[in-house]
Amino acid sequence: MVEKDCVFCKIVAGELPSEIVYEDDDILAFKDINPVAPVHILLIPKKHIPTITDIEEEDAALMGKLLLAAGKVADKMGIFDRGFRLVNNCREEGGQMVYHLHFHLLGGKQFGSVG
């Protein structure tokens, strides 16, 4: 399912360039265009799901794959043992800008407590 005005669907389709760091049949991970940490990767399902609140039962395995990919990407980026932060911004008050479900994998620096 491709949403024609979705920037991340365009990246999945190869219509927009990106620096891909991991790809399999269901998941894509690429560098954030505006990094806020030394490592800042966006992890997305290739399937267009707008927000984390739009996940359905049939997406359960896909979400598991996304979390497994987070570990693989963290390993590839050299932050598996040091630790990292995995962030999802959901809807307006969550600060979501792109309405294609994604996790920010942030690392390479020390974070404080959330909030």
Q: Which of 97, 110, 114, 115 binds ligand 5GP (CB under 6 A)?
A: 97
Distance CA 46, CA 13 (A): 9
Per-residue contact string for residues 4-43; x = within reach of ligand 5GP by CB under 6 A: ---x--------x-x-----------xxxxx-------x-
Is residue 89 part of the contact set for ligand 5GP (CB under 6 A)?
Answer: yes
**Distance separating alpha carbons of residues 37 and 46, to the nearest angstrom:** 24
Residues carrying an active site annotation:
102
Sheet holding 84-87, edge to edge: 20-23, 27-31, 39-45, 103-107, 84-87
Three-class DSSP category at 25: coil
Q: Which does 9 bind (CB under 5 to 8 A by kind): ligand 5GP, Zn ion, none?
A: Zn ion
**Footprint on this chain of Zn ion (rule: CB under 5 A):** 3, 6, 8-9, 48, 100
